[in-house]
Structure 1
Amino acid sequence: MANIRIINAHILDVVQGSLLPKQCLLIKDGLIEAVGNDLPEEPVDMTLDAAGRVVMPGLCDAHVHITAGTPDFVALRHWPPSYVTAHAKHILEGMLMRGFTTVRDAGGADFGYAQAIEEGLLTGPRLLFCGHALSQTGGHGDMRLPGDNQTDHCFCCAGLGKVCDGVAEVRKACRDEIRKGAHQIKLMVSGGVASPTDRIDSTQFAEDEIRAAVEETEAANIYVMAHAYTNRAIKRALEAGVRSIEHGNLIESDGIELLKKKGAFLVPTLSTYDQLALRGVEAGMPEALQKKVYSVLDAGLQALEAAWLADANIVFGTDLLGSMHDAQLKEFAIRGEIIPPDELIRSATVKAAELFNLSGQIGVLAKGYRADLLIVDGNPLDDPGVLQQPEKYLKLIMKDGRIYKNQL
């Protein structure tokens, strides 16, 4: 691994929301060794001249599905794992080339993908996985059609979820995903758009089942992320100890206050509803399921605004599926209608790191942190649009000190 010096850099301090001019960075063994404007000269393998461009931390996406090569999860159940992996390869490479150096998978990815990325067999962001998302029978992770009487579910194969009912089955399912290396456990605690037999406004899993999952993750020093739309489902999950609410489109003021009280995080995923409404059927989603999008589409922006005004913990996420992954950076544009640029960037860097329990490792350019960084033309604090056109403005991508794009 090369030792690298970056000179003539304007470093984006994401915590303060400001630029530090005329800085240098020294990178050794994949970590940031030093940052400053007067670093001592020492031998390096490579010197990169940022030429006054902005150097910022790599981006984080807290809600992805790298195995979702199609938005039709019923069909995905029947894809061979080899075919799923071929799609995942393309999805992962696209994410990294957009500047995402860490992503959190919300169902489908496993130890094999994370290890393949670590070993360089696949090119992509650092991957935090949950294995299969856990669902009750007939819940958002149960992709059987109403007339499907199959009982074994075949969720050891490709697909999003694993069905478990009752406290004992939930505990066993959590323990099995933890055994397989899960960084977090995903629960489906309300209805969803892509599932064929549930309603958006349903609550899922009994409270004792949710608490059992939380207990198992706390024992393993990880946490639960929960798919939830309605305020009722969100409050049940938060009271049980869930750390991260995914989507949250129908959250209300008391749900936001409870989120703050519990120190939990909200991960809106507005770009996926935008894209499902625009091209979901074209991308392969069954028309009957695509219609469910409209029950949460407009509410998502309202929920984001309410959470932002209440100073809740908000983290960047997208939840895109199939060919719609190419809209990943549009999430910045949608949220930018409400949230200022410095907070947008924090949500995809330091706030995400806090949620992931990786504070001190990623999200900031400082001594001892992983060398995940981007060099961009233009100042994202003035114009977040520079982050949305990577082919034009993103000049260098580095993850763990390795360079994946260099157009300096």
Structure 2
Amino acid sequence: MNDSLLVRNALLLDPGTGEYREGDLRCADGRIVETGPGLRAPGVRTVDAGGAVVLPGLIDAHVHVTAFTANLGSLPESSPSYVAAHSARIMRGMLARGFTTVRDASGADYGLADAQAEGLFPGPRLLFCGRALSQTGGHGDTRGRGTHRHDDHPCCAGLGRIADGVDAVRAAARDELRKGAHHIKVMASGGVASPTDRIDSTQYSEEELRAVVEEAGAANRYVAAHAYTARAVNRALELGIRSIEHGNLLDDRSVELFREHDAFLVPTLVTYWALKQEGREYGLPESSWRKVDEVLGAGLAALDRAARGGVKLVFGTDLLGGMHRHQNHEFRLRAEVQPPLEVIRSATSVAAELVGMTGEAGTLAPGAHADLLVVDGDPLADIGVLAEPEHLRHVIQAGRIVGGHGTP
């Protein structure tokens, strides 16, 4: 398939500087080749942007593409082929909403990543961790109190795997790395969707967490931790965990530790909004739904505290089931406390830094993947341009037009 493309007469947005530059952009072999005024490429497909804004394809750094239901306990009982079909549908929707790269925060594996890369179905580039590591009774243990058998067979769908003790967590981390994990996810505190833990609990001992960090570091990978409370967040950061997921109940010491360790925070505001409104409709058990209020109101305050403190903030959504369609609403929620440029950076250049793709994604610089959006309107003036996918004129991935209302 021909992936050479020339986008002419565009306003090119540099997320790093926040500046627009008039000009053209040429793609070939899936990469951005050059930008500048008056570019020529005879015989190449040309898109006239008509002065519209062009920005890098978006990155969502916290998704669960296998979570076709909010009842996570039912996933291990689902047929893997059925889950894969749902995952392809979910990923297709993400690409249509402008997300050309996503980081899966547990559930997806090399099979889905390979299938997307080979073009078996349309979807964003998939950076996966396999299954999240959880202690018994932790956020990744989806058994109810009356269930004593945990089906941890690798052929079965599920977001977590139980590993207790230093030796077991080392083995589990090594196994996920063996299967190509881009990062390792650990459950370092309680959560909403898990049936038997408290949100304010800490999970895993320091020795266990340290072992996971060592194994990831040995493989030149990093660890992301699910953590809500300041106690859980701060402990994880002190042990060398690079990415904190959620962090709704962090404190001033957390902000200091983020800066000290050059770590990243991935808030996921939209999922709490969606779970409160629609969670039960899409399978969230009543006991989990009642937990939502514990973190719902604190999310914006934590984001504001982190933003004012200079923490590296990354775009994430964490949506489940039929709520995936709200993915872009995260832009509007964040804009309540952040200027539009900072929100855009969280979904482009800063997200790329977290996932180790600086210069490869989240930028329009030559040499980067030719993932870009042509949008109607100015997202620096109105974040609604990104919060509402109908403003996407063209979604371009690897130099090919794959979506948008202007697609023939």
TM-score by length of 2: 0.97
User: How far apart in 2 are the matches of 1:249 and 1:2?
Assistant: 42
User: How far apart in 2 are the matches of 1:303 and 1:14?
Assistant: 24
Q: Which amino acid aligns with 2:29?
A: D
> Which structure 2 residues correspond to residues 139-288 of structure 1 after superposition, within 5 A?
139-154=138-153, 156-288=155-287
Q: Which amino acid aligns with 2:394?
A: L
Structure 1 residue 400 displacement after superposition: 1.2
Q: Which amino acid aligns with 1:402?
A: R
Partner deviation per Cα, 1:53-87 (whole Å, 9 max, x = no partner): 11110000000000000010111121111111121
The range that moved more, 215-224 or 42-51, is 42-51
Checking the alignment, whether the CA contact within 8 Å between 1:186 and 1:224 is kept in structure 2 is: yes
Structure 1 residue 151 displacement after superposition: 4.8
The range that moved more, 279-288 or 124-133, is 279-288
Partner deviation per Cα, 1:139-184 (whole Å, 9 max, x = no partner): 0001111011215544641111000011111111011100100000
Gaps of 5+ in 2: none
Checking the alignment, whether the CA contact within 8 Å between 1:18 and 1:381 is kept in structure 2 is: no
Q: Does 1:335 align with 2:334?
A: yes
Give the SS at the match of 2:352.
helix
Checking the alignment, whether the CA contact within 8 Å between 1:15 and 1:346 is kept in structure 2 is: yes
2:293 paired residue number: 294
> Which structure 2 residues correspond to residues 9-408 of structure 1 after superposition, within 5 A?
9-21=10-22, 23-39=23-39, 41-154=40-153, 156-391=155-390, 393-405=391-403, 407=406
Checking the alignment, whether the CA contact within 8 Å between 1:4 and 1:44 is kept in structure 2 is: no
Structure 1 residue 332 displacement after superposition: 0.6
Q: 1:44 to 1:208 in 2, by over 3 A?
A: farther
User: How far apart in 2 are the matches of 1:287 and 1:336?
Assistant: 31
Checking the alignment, whether the CA contact within 8 Å between 1:141 and 1:195 is kept in structure 2 is: yes
User: How far apart in 1 are the matches of 2:153 and 2:279?
Assistant: 26
Give the SS at the match of 1:292.
coil
Structure 1 residue 306 displacement after superposition: 0.3
Q: 1:243 to 1:279 in 2, by over 3 A?
A: same
Partner deviation per Cα, 1:314-338 (whole Å, 9 max, x = no partner): 0000000000000001101111110
Structure 1 residue 42 displacement after superposition: 3.6
Q: 1:43 to 1:262 in 2, by over 3 A?
A: same
Structure 1 residue 256 displacement after superposition: 1.1
User: How far apart in 2 are the matches of 1:240 and 1:152?
Assistant: 30
Q: Which runs of 4+ in 1 moved over 2 A?
A: 41-45, 151-156
Give the SS at the match of 1:103.
strand
User: How far apart in 1 are the matches of 2:155 and 2:220?
Assistant: 25
Q: How many percent identity over aligned positions?
A: 56
Residue-pair matches, total: 405
Checking the alignment, whether the CA contact within 8 Å between 1:213 and 1:224 is kept in structure 2 is: yes
Structure 1 residue 2 displacement after superposition: 2.8
User: How far apart in 2 are the matches of 1:111 and 1:313?
Assistant: 28
Structure 1 residue 275 displacement after superposition: 0.5
User: How far apart in 1 are the matches of 2:20 and 2:35?
Assistant: 13
User: How far apart in 2 are the matches of 1:326 and 1:68?
Assistant: 13
User: How far apart in 2 are the matches of 1:154 and 1:309?
Assistant: 44
Partner deviation per Cα, 1:288-317 (whole Å, 9 max, x = no partner): 111001111101111000001111100000
Checking the alignment, whether the CA contact within 8 Å between 1:2 and 1:45 is kept in structure 2 is: no
Q: 1:35 to 1:201 in 2, by over 3 A?
A: same
Partner deviation per Cα, 1:93-118 (whole Å, 9 max, x = no partner): 11000000000000000000000000
User: How far apart in 2 are the matches of 1:230 and 1:156?
Assistant: 33
User: How far apart in 2 are the matches of 1:153 and 1:42?
Assistant: 53
